[in-house]
Amino acid sequence: MSKPLIVSTWSFGQRANRAAWPILSAGGSSLDAVEAAARDAEADPENHTVGLGGYPDASGRVSVDACIMVAPSRRGAVAGVRHHLHPISIARKVMEHTSHALIVGADADEFGSRYGLPTQDLLTPAAHEAWTRWKLSKDKPTGPIANIEESKTWPDEEATHDTIGVLAIDVRGDLAGACTTSGLAFKIPGRVGDSPIVGHGLYVDPVAGAAVCTGHGELVMGVCGSFLAVEQMRRGATPGEAAAAVIERIRACFDLRDDDQVGVIALGKDGRWGSASIKAGFRVAVKSGERDELADAGT
């Protein structure tokens, strides 16, 4: 157990943790830290599942979703943002400057611009090339049914990596979480997954704990994954048990395909964390005063 501490999904979480660490180590807030970590991932063009460089939807246009949260009464989110580099910062503006929880689409972009947040073409040449390959490889007839099947497809090399989810606890013991994603690669335009939906991709309760989910959003959304994990901790489960309970519930509710993956991280108010995933390969980046490492999640 250690405070402060920051945990993030996937190996790219390590870089994000390091970007946020100066804030936490200097006694800054967990809220500022999770935003900084998310912004780091959003600005990384090599990360094809978040922000700049994210793989586009089936129409070839990138859209991004994000959520930030410190308590049920303090949370903000955006979905379907197409022109802003830092959807997590728009989500924070929603949290701090409105009474709303979620703003979507062109209006979310406009809201971000109202606060002077930077706009950018999010489609990089590499992501465009991946989309072109995907488009060319399709030999099925087009139509609603074909498109739904295609929207489940992840590019091979990204089969199990998506979304950065970040949880942090600061020296005062305050919890915060952030989640940001470009969503499922080549998704049906307009599709929104778990990440920006409070209680699905991210949930933070200042007393019971915090949880974040990554992976196939539709699976998480079927069980209110992060809310389920936090409620398990409220009833006495350890973070590891709470994360495992989410995976068990998904297994009970869905006929899983071989490539289905969900990873969950849960963080308790005492700074202990745990994780679980449907299958091997999900890794958690952990940083504290003593540790800076990648850990394998329990399956």
Interface residues with ligand GLY (CB under 6 A) are 162-163, 181, 183-184, 193-195, 214-217
Comparing CB distances to ligand GLY, the nearer of 4 and 183 is 183
- Residue 160 CB, shortest distance to ligand GLY, in Å, is 11
- Residue 225 CB, shortest distance to ligand GLY, in Å, is 10
Q: Any idea which residue has 């309970």 for tokens?
A: 245
- Residue 29 CB, shortest distance to ligand GLY, in Å, is 26
Sign of CA dihedral 156, 34, 78, 179: positive
Tell me the pairing of strands 102-104 and 74-81: parallel
**142 an active-site residue?**
no
Q: What is the DSSP string of 168-193?
A: EE-TT--EEEEEEE--STTPPTT---
- Per DSSP, 290 falls in state S
Within 13 Å of residue 206, how many CA atoms lie on the same side as its CB?
11
- Residue 114 CB, shortest distance to ligand GLY, in Å, is 26
Comparing CB distances to ligand GLY, the nearer of 47 and 181 is 181
Comparing CB distances to ligand GLY, the nearer of 5 and 278 is 278
Comparing CB distances to ligand GLY, the nearer of 22 and 190 is 190
Cα angle 174, 192, 99 (rounded to 5 degrees) comes to 50
- Residue 266 CB, shortest distance to ligand GLY, in Å, is 16
* Residue 209 in tokens: 């704990």
**Active-site entry in 9, 124, 163, 214:** 163
Alpha-carbon distances, residue 240 vs 4, 100, 237, 264, 299 (angstroms): 19, 32, 8, 9, 10
Distance CA 119, CA 86 (A): 8
Alpha-carbon distances, residue 38 vs 152, 239, 241, 244, 256 (angstroms): 25, 22, 26, 25, 29
Comparing CB distances to ligand GLY, the nearer of 220 and 233 is 220
Write out the catalytic residue numbers: 163
